[in-house]
Chain A
Amino acid sequence: EAGVVQSPRYKIIEKKQPVAFWCNPISGHNTLYWYLQNLGQGPELLIRYENEEAVDDSQLPKDRFSAERLKGVDSTLKIQPAELGDSAVYLCASSPGLAESSYEQYFGPGTRLTVT
């Protein structure tokens, strides 16, 4: 079974430029998460989807970040415009979720973003 797929793996952009990350979860997983991880820290939740519904986006900086999960499968996270402080690893994870009362999460390889 294929794992969580993310692209790109690495991205270097100048500040004020836009950037987008893509994630395809494990087949059949209804819950999808986007996290931000800084060096030496644990992942911090940005947004969680149950199917196509964003059920927890309280930590998403909505002035510059947006996300979508059309059709409840793959998802895109966008930053516009990027700031220097956005440099981090962006992780996508999925889990069977509410439908199976199962919250073990499986992570993709992440996208390392560098904003210069």
Chain B
Amino acid sequence: QKEVEQNSGPLSVPEGAIASLNCTYSDRGSQSFFWYRQYSGKSPELIMFIYSNGDKEDGRFIAQLNKASQYVSLLIRDSQPSDSATYLCAVNPPGGFKTIFGAGTRLFVKA
């Protein structure tokens, strides 16, 4: 079992819809959770981080964390074609220092 798992996609949604990206992790004691966006040929860009169970909202982005289920998700409301990218889930295991990245989910938003 991979430490951080994501569906590779591609996930295709129409413009204006809600895109839902999911991630599971194996280490139950993990403490910090991050979502990065990576455009083709570019480096990852931090878009959200969440440390506590529940929802965290920032503009059109909502991060959801459920530690009991070892599940973290990212919702993108009112998806735009410019949101088309690969979204990387990243998790810090206990100790907080080392970050493990998933392989990413490719998202396509159709105009």
Contacts and interface: CB of A to CB of B under 8 A. Distances in A.
Contact of A105 (B46, B103, B104): B46
A56 B98 contact: yes
A55 B43 contact: no
B48 to A, nearest CB: 10
Query: Interface size bucket, B side?
Result: 20 to 34
A48 B99 CA distance: 10
A47 B109 CA distance: 35
Interface in B5-38: 8, 32, 34, 36
Contact of A43 (B32, B45, B46, B101): B101
A41 B43 contact: no
Interface of A: 33, 40-45, 48, 55-56, 89, 91, 98, 101, 103-110
Contacts of A109: 42-43
Given A40-B103, A42-B103, A107 B97 contact: no
Contacts of A45: 98-100
B109 to A, nearest CB: 20
A101 B96 contact: yes
B92 interface: yes
B17 to A, nearest CB: 25
B97 A103 contact: yes
